[in-house]
Amino acid sequence: MKTFCGRANPTTGALDWVEESEEYDYHQEIARSSYADMLHDTDRNQKYYAGIRAAVARVKARGEKATVLDIGTGTGLLSMMALTAGADFCYAVEVFKPMAEAAKCIVEKNGFSDRMKIINKHSTEVTVGPDGDMQTRANILVTELFDTELIGEGALPSYEHAHQNLVQEGCEAVPHRATVYSQLVESELLWSWGQLQPVMVEGARLAPPPAVTQCAGAHSVCDIQLSQVSPEQFTPLGPLCTMFSLDFSKPVSSAPQSHTSHFPAQASGRAQVVLSWWDIDMDPEGSIVCSMAPSWTYPQPKAAPWRDHWMQSVYFLPTERSVVEGEELSLTVIHDDYSLWYGLQTDSQQVGLKEPPLCRPCCTCHAHLVWNRPRFGELNDGRRTESYVRALRSVLDVDSVCLSVSDGSLLPVFAHMLGAKKVFGLESSRMSKRVIEQVLEANSMKGGMELLEIRADQLSSNDLGGQQISVLMGEPYYSTSLLPWHSLFFWYCRTALAKLLRPGAAILPRSATLRAAAVEFQDLWRIRAPCGACEGFDVSPMDQMVQRSLDFRESREAEPHPLWEYPCRALTLPTAVMTFDFTQCVPEQPINAQGFFPFVRSGSCHGVAIWMEYQLTEEVTISMGLSGDVGEQGACEWSRHRKQGVYFFPSPRQSLGEDGGGGKVSYSFTFEPSSGDISMEFNVASDSA
């Protein structure tokens, strides 16, 4: 059965009514899941297995039957581990129906169906009793309910309910304990993701609005692969603190709580950011530890396990604060049932003050709702600003009438500061319009600039006071963009505005180039690679289910990833595959491009990285992908501001490079103007093919 669905098209800006299978959302959920990543996480799996074996052994040593409750069973892997370790029976709870069905297939395939029951419910709906889902309470509680922030997937309410209703008092728990660690640091890089900094425009200072700098910001965690942030890019101001622990073998509360660590400042600096991660002890003695610590905490960083389903957390303090070496500090973490946040107090501030309030911070300036973390970093990038200012300076004069088409952009402010006669800015929402208005107010900029909350295709000459546009500009940046080519929305806006442009009007950027390179990922390939067997268990039904969902549509599409977090090697030279001329309107006919890029390095080709490069003027180009030349061995440095597209191959393709006989990746791209979609196909072949 198919239904009509209204979907906002991020490239054309139109509301498309498309006929979708009723299974579309189901397949998308599975195709984009992180189950493969977890199954490939050998460190996690082996630590869980060791902890489960030890827990079953402790129960058996007491002369008891081992009854296991596995909450969030997924593939059923942990339950099968428990049964193999000698457990008598397992109740495996999985709320996601497709996953529960896959678990049944996997359990049957591995011969455990007679000692295991899959319960397709949320754990808080599970009942115990003769007519219930469970005959008796369990004496071993096994869970994998964690996210990067530890409690963000509702671990605390689930544990709370389980201890009250589903498990015996004094039960064994795997994991047994979780501990959260945090460190106070100064980091210009990380702080640039949380607050708008002063911007320099040809020597003039554009100050951030006080409402923004004084705002506590959004409370949501910034989860990243912290291993890719070099220790040289931050200064520790305190030791690594043990903030709090949770004992999962005992009743757990989901009520708000606070925990404080006291320490003298290790160095003088600006307290801005808290880095955080957690460990889980699989046994009471803490001899089986699974750590989320970044690789640079290991004596041998390359030996650190890689995982994408659990990363590390960055928290931004409500305001940055100067601290002096030796000064007594108190770092407080507060959590409710789903999230954490931090506060900092100095020794002098604590006199007569109570603990920080148990309420989560929220954004009051709107900027933290309009701009996400990478967007803050982009706006704070001084070199990027210089490029836009240089490009603007080359096309502006005192008679210029400018129109900016980007979301929450400072570009129209720059044009105003550079002396344009009149500047209009189109904003997609009232909130983003208000944020830019605050910037203007904070810098006493009145007159000469007007912000309009209107779509480009609805703009009329009356809205512009009868003036024709001499400079149409965009970064381009749009909050709805996910993939690199979604920013071609600028081209559709330029086409809609054609009649309002002065003859010979400057278009900035004048064009865009879609670039691509075949790559070998250090680790990211794991999220799409089939697993087959995991710790001796056949999980191929899971691979098959994921592949069916990928084949439904996703395998023919690229997906967005911030590649600066995922090291890779370029096996081919970066290649321009399509160019879009913004000085002309969007064509009516499709644009096709075919070709190939030869391998220049040996390695396992996992897929193709795809990004956009904008030619602002003939002299100024901005890359949204590679931020420098590819290294001799293929090392890539990627922009931290935008996500790039990745097209994964179903399985790695071996490249031999120039010295091993060559080979190539052939490609075919088609841009369809009516939908704004870019379809692509790739094929890896040897030179003899």
Tally of CB atoms within 10 A around 637: 15
- How many CA atoms lie within 13 Å of 161's alpha carbon, on the beta-carbon side? 15
Set 94, 144, 427, 520: catalytic member: 144
Pair type for strands 167-174 and 138-143: parallel
What distance in Å separates the CA atoms of residue 673 and residue 580, rounded to the nearest whole number? Answer: 11
Active site residue 320: no
Q: Copy the structure tokens of residue 152.
A: 């963000």
Quick one: angle between helices 97-109 and 77-84, nearest 10? 30
- What burial letters (b/e) apply to 96-121, b meaning 16+ CB within 10 Å? bebbbebbbbbbeebebeebbbbbbe
Output helix, strand, coil percentages for the chain, rounded to the nearest 5: 25, 35, 40
Do residues 22 and 3 touch, judged by C-beta distance below 8 A? Answer: yes
What distance in Å separates the CA atoms of residue 366 and residue 360, rounded to the nearest whole number? Answer: 16
What distance in Å separates the CA atoms of residue 193 and residue 343, rounded to the nearest whole number? Answer: 18
List 128's β-bridge partners, or say none: 134
What distance in Å separates the CA atoms of residue 173 and residue 555, rounded to the nearest whole number? Answer: 39
Q: Which of 431, 457, 433, 408 is nearest to 14 (CA)?
A: 457
* Phi/psi-derived region of residue 278, left when phi > 0, alpha when psi is between -120 and 50, beta in every other case: beta
Three-class SS of residue 1?
Answer: coil
What distance in Å separates the CA atoms of residue 259 and residue 272, rounded to the nearest whole number? Answer: 19
Three-class SS of residue 550?
Answer: helix
Provide the residue count of the chain.
689
Do residues 249 and 175 touch, judged by C-beta distance below 8 A? Answer: no
Do residues 286 and 247 touch, judged by C-beta distance below 8 A? Answer: no
Q: Which of 16, 18, 8, 17 is nearest to 428 (CA)?
A: 8
Tally of CB atoms within 10 A around 448: 12
- Please count the helices (runs of H) and the strands (runs of E) in the chain: 16, 36
Three-class SS of residue 411?
Answer: helix
What distance in Å separates the CA atoms of residue 187 and residue 581, rounded to the nearest whole number? Answer: 40
Active site residue 153: yes
Tally of CB atoms within 10 A around 659: 9
Do you find a cis peptide bond into 587, omega within 30 degrees of 0?
no
Q: Which of 394, 378, 355 is nearest to 476 (CA)?
A: 378
Q: Which of 286, 479, 460 is nearest to 374 (CA)?
A: 479
Do residues 480 and 618 touch, judged by C-beta distance below 8 A? Answer: no
What distance in Å separates the CA atoms of residue 346 and residue 322, rounded to the nearest whole number? Answer: 10
What distance in Å separates the CA atoms of residue 44 and residue 48, rounded to the nearest whole number? Answer: 6
Set 23, 153, 437, 535: catalytic member: 153
Q: Copy the structure tokens of residue 390.
A: 């240089």
Instruction: Give the DSSP letter of residue 674.
Output: T
List 89's β-bridge partners, or say none: 67
Long-range contacts of 284-290 (CB under 8 A, 24+ apart): 284/176, 284/177, 284/249, 286/177, 288/47, 288/50, 288/51, 288/54, 289/47, 290/43, 290/44, 290/47, 290/48, 290/175
Sheet holding 422-426, edge to edge: 449-452, 422-426, 401-405, 469-473, 501-508
Catalytic positions? 144, 153
